[in-house]
Amino acid sequence: MGEYGVKIPFLNPAGAAKFVDHQVTKANDIIKTWQGEEIEGFGIIGAPLSKSSISHSGAALAPTTIRRALSAFTTYSIEDDVDIKDCWVFDLGDVTMHVTDIPLSQRRIEETITEILKEHQNFIPILLGGDHSVSAPSIKAFKKNKGTVGVIQFDAHHDLRNLQDGGTTNGTPFRTLLEDKVIEGKHLVQIGIRDFSNSKEYFMYGKENGVKIYTMKDVREKPIKSLLADAIQYLKPLVDVIYVSVDMDVVDQAHAPGCPAIGPGGMDSQSLLEGIAYLGEESYVKGIDIVEIDPTLDVRDMTSRLGAHVILQFLKGKRKSLDY
Ligand code: CA
């Protein structure tokens, strides 16, 4: 009888043969499965919830596709001559969503992040949605652990819809946070709000509550780094930490086709990435989420790949400022 486990040359038991080049570190190689150890730095958490979306959405599938997209890229930034191969990122897995109960699922996100932030003071979460409703519980968890939270929201939409008409959906996360007094209007900076994508009522609601709103016109007319420098300078005296929420639909439909709410006239992908790297350098920035990618609508995972680059640029910023 033959011995089990005898290696047959060139036969890869895992399936497809893989090209290995030992000079290259792939971005997914810096991801480590979390096994309960102390977290001094970054951790990915998936929040696969999209039943809370106003329109049809498969964004619950995005944590998987964004993670997978990391394997397509390396850890080296040629523009800054920075290699993030030592920026270890724990993968904490996904928050288990209830099959039908949306508020319960949102509470689970809040409780999970609250618990981890409490246990691991230096944890910098990278939350992968899901639709934009997942940001509200995540920011609530920040508030519980980190004091006054400032939010920089990249978005085509205000997400300030009233809660009476549909509960806590992906149209209401920032209204929820204002009404629950988790943040004040002046602690919220919205970037990339777009034409013909919002009603005047919600713009007025934002203005009346002191939300700082930069439209796409503002983004076009000012380099993204100086616009964000203004936002940071404005927020810093008011808050203890800054949380960055990236609704991928801030990006033009040509660059991010896999969003449920696509449209023209949005940000180009390079501006977003440059902005995220810049924000990563800022020590006040202690968490980020990436939401509203629906892999079932995407083209060749273009939008998940952009999501993966948001993670990499964020890590690059942190690596550059040695803030990790
Ligand atoms: Ca949004």
Q: Quote the ligand 1 centre to 160 CA distance (angstroms).
A: 9
pLDDT tens-digit readout, 146-196: 999 999 999 999 999 998 888 889 999 999 999 999 999 999 999 999 999
Q: Quote the ligand 1 centre to 80 CA distance (angstroms).
A: 31
Ligand 1 is an ion; its neighbours by CB within 5 Å are: 132, 155, 157, 159, 247
Q: Quote the ligand 1 centre to 125 CA distance (angstroms).
A: 19
pLDDT of residue 17: 59
Nearest by Cα to 89 from 59, 66, 61: 66
Q: Quote the ligand 1 centre to 251 CA distance (angstroms).
A: 11
Other beta carbons within 10 angstroms of residue 18's beta carbon come to 7
Nearest by Cα to 27 from 271, 288, 310, 320: 310
The span from the CA of 268 to the CA of 278, in Å, is 16
Query: Can you name the residues that pair with 47 across neighbouring β-strands?
Result: 129
pLDDT of residue 114: 98
Does residue 192 have a cis bond before it (omega within 30 degrees)?
no
Query: Can you name the residues that pair with 243 across neighbouring β-strands?
Result: 151, 287
Q: Quote the ligand 1 centre to 2 CA distance (angstroms).
A: 60
Q: Quote the ligand 1 centre to 293 CA distance (angstroms).
A: 11
Q: Which amino acid is present at 57?
A: S
Q: Quote the ligand 1 centre to 221 CA distance (angstroms).
A: 22
Residue 1 confidence (pLDDT) above 50: no
pLDDT tens-digit readout, 60-101: 999 999 999 999 999 999 999 999 999 999 999 999 999 999
Order the strands of the 124-129 sheet from edge to edge: 31-33, 89-94, 42-47, 124-129, 285-291, 241-247, 149-154, 188-193, 212-215
Please state, rounded to an integer, the average pLDDT across all residues of the chain.
Answer: 94
What confidence tier does 11 reach under pLDDT thresholds 50, 70, 90?
A: confident
pTM, rounded to two decimals:
0.94
